[in-house]
Amino acid sequence: MSRLLPVLAMLGAILLWSTTAPGTKFALQFAGVWEIVVFRIALAALAVWTLVLLTYGFINLRRVGPWPFVMGILEPGMVTVFLVSGVAHTSAVNGAVVWGVLPVTQPVLARLILKEPLRPTVAIGAVLAVSGAALLFASKQADGSGNLYGDLLLVGAVVSAACNQLLARRVAQRQRNPIVVTGCQMATASVIALALFVLNVEPATAYEGMTIGVFALLCYLALTTAGPFLLYNFALQHLPVGPISLFAPLVGPLGALWAALLLHDVVSPIGLAAIGIILTGALLPTVIPMLARRRENPAE
């Protein structure tokens, strides 16, 4: 297969991910936190399970096992709750850019939990990415658009996503069907989201301001929940992990651009410097080894 399709799939996933935080911040003008959470996850689950049934028919859940359902608690369950709640209190730029630390937090957690080796470039990248995130949070609090509580919720979303990737690494060794695994994740997350919705929202007042435009926006946010998973899994089947990891840091700068266009969320010079530090830290663990291999094997 041509490398063009997997690359386009990965770019599509990054584009959808980059609009999640700004889109959520915009939707909060028309719907509540729990309304957005349950709509996003439930509709995404419906879409993925429709795809599963059309592609594979009914599946044997015993063969799937419990761990894909456990993954759903972490992501998209806790990730969506933390993300939507976080951007409700802080800047959409923070919500988009904080994901830039994910490529380096996951290897650090793998070292702490799975005792996997940690390369020096990853450790340096982690320090840079976290320092950049802290500088960005401080700059947004200084200009009044940030909030410490909201920023901590966003950190919770990143940690949940990183922990899910650790579990997904083990699940991938047993499960060869990413669509079914994604469906199981969405199913568990839907149950959690619905329970939180019932506990926090009066049924009579739910979706009172729903219009066709708001409905379309919530449908798009559901697409940003399910779509990137499917596109990412497709790309992962045809591209090495190294090149794919180079795409992830693009979420932050693109998200900041969307926040500026959609919400007029201005980024100060210090904020731009912080985004650059995060981007450098996220790219460092992949770019340095890649350049070293090119130096050793110029023909590659």
pLDDT per residue as tens digits for the range 91-123 = 988 888 887 777 777 777 777 776 777 778 878
Q: Rounded to an integer, what distance in angstroms lies between the CA atom of residue 29 and that of residue 161?
A: 26
Model confidence band, residue 175 (pLDDT cutoffs 50, 70, 90): low
- Per residue in 141-172, pLDDT (tens digit) is 888 888 999 999 999 998 888 888 777 767 76
Mean pLDDT of 36-48: 90
Q: Is the pTM of this model over 0.75?
A: yes
Angstrom distances, CA of residue 193 to CA of 69, 83, 145, 201, 223: 14, 13, 28, 12, 17
Question: Mean pLDDT for the chain?
Answer: 82
Per-residue model confidence (pLDDT) at position 83: 92
Amino acid found at 90: T
Give residue 184's pLDDT.
85
